[in-house]
Copies of this chain bind each other. A is one copy, B any other.
Amino acid sequence: MIVDVSQKILIVGLGLLGGSYARALKRFGFHISAITKEQSSIDYALREGLIDEGSTELDAKIIGSADLVIFALYPHVFVEWIEQNQNLLKSGAIITDVTGVKRSIVYKIQDILRDDVEFIAAHPMAGREVSGVENSTDKIFQGANYIVTPTNKNTDEAINTCLELGKLLGFSNVTTLSPEEHDEMIGFLSQLTHCIAITLMTCNDKEDMEKFTGDSFRDLTRIARINDQMWSELFVANKDALLEQMDLFIDKFNELKNMLQAEDIVGMRKMMRHSTERRALFDKK
């Protein structure tokens, strides 16, 4: 199945990300439905024309007629949904997700899923510091990465469908990685980064520091405003990879601390030049 506009797309979980998917896909004329917890989210999405139909119930007709199902749920809620409700899915349907960790989800879902439904995992690396369908916007996909993480259980057709979905959504970079490569990368670039921000924000509670704050400190702690339920779950779901990245960071930080202790200016300057050179790679192209 390659995506065409006669197909029905179901979004399970109509929050910021699910709503943004709906918004982006509706422009192409797809039939979009949604299943979500809150009636107010359905009402908003219907009023704004983001979806054609929706329900807060497990509506068998809506679920059973969807060719492509996008799960925009917390990892454990996604797994529970499949365990309890996969019988409602249409035979031949392709399902995908938005989960920020992959190994702990992909193999589990593929193991328990019916043979006539295929799960192809994907991670849209996009978000905002606000939540809810009311804040959805497909602008968050511009300049962002969409990573498909196939396993040897996936067909080329499903992989291509998912890659095409990423492009339709408007992501600037649509690529594939193995679940293992994905989790290592995300452990470093995203999870370690959040660990650092929340540590910096909580390691010194001295009063009045905010009076003297400049942009550097603000930049490093912007993501210290964090959804504690989601991120603690994602950390645990990628525990081994994240612990490895945390160790790499601690080792290097201690190296710097020891150089400072020894007033090793040559060593510190070498590390700073390494940092400066490497940072240039990460500039926005």
In the bound complex, do residue A274 and residue B202 qualify as a contact, i.e. CB atoms below 8 Å apart?
yes
A278 touches B193 (CB 8 A): no
A244 and chain B: residue at smallest CB distance: B204
Are the C-beta atoms of A269 and B232 separated by less than 8 Å?
A: yes
Q: Check if A271 is an interface residue, CB within 8 A of chain B.
A: yes
CB–CB B260/A253 < 8 A:
no
Q: Does A243 contact B (CB under 8 A)?
A: yes
Chain A to chain B: the 5 pairs with minimum beta-carbon distance, closest first = A228-B272, A203-B252, A198-B275, A228-B269, A201-B275
Q: Is A115 an interface residue (CB 8 A)?
A: no
B219 and A243 within 8 A (CB) = no
Q: Interface size of A by Cβ–Cβ distance < 8 Å?
A: 83
Q: Is the CB of A243 within 8 A of B272?
A: no
A280 to B231, CA, bound (A): 18
25 A-B contacts (beta carbon < 8 Å): A125-B212, A125-B214, A145-B212, A173-B211, A188-B206, A189-B217, A192-B200, A196-B196, A196-B253, A198-B256, A199-B253, A201-B274, A201-B278, A202-B271, A203-B251, A216-B223, A220-B220, A232-B265, A232-B272, A235-B268, A236-B260, A236-B265, A239-B263, A246-B253, A250-B254
Q: Known pairs A199-B256, A202-B275; list 4 more (Cβ under 8 Å).
A: A197-B216, A198-B271, A198-B275, A231-B268
Q: Is A273 an interface residue (CB 8 A)?
A: yes
Query: CB of A167 within 8 A of chain B?
Result: no
* Among B175, B210, B250, contact of A282 (Cβ-Cβ < 8 Å): B210
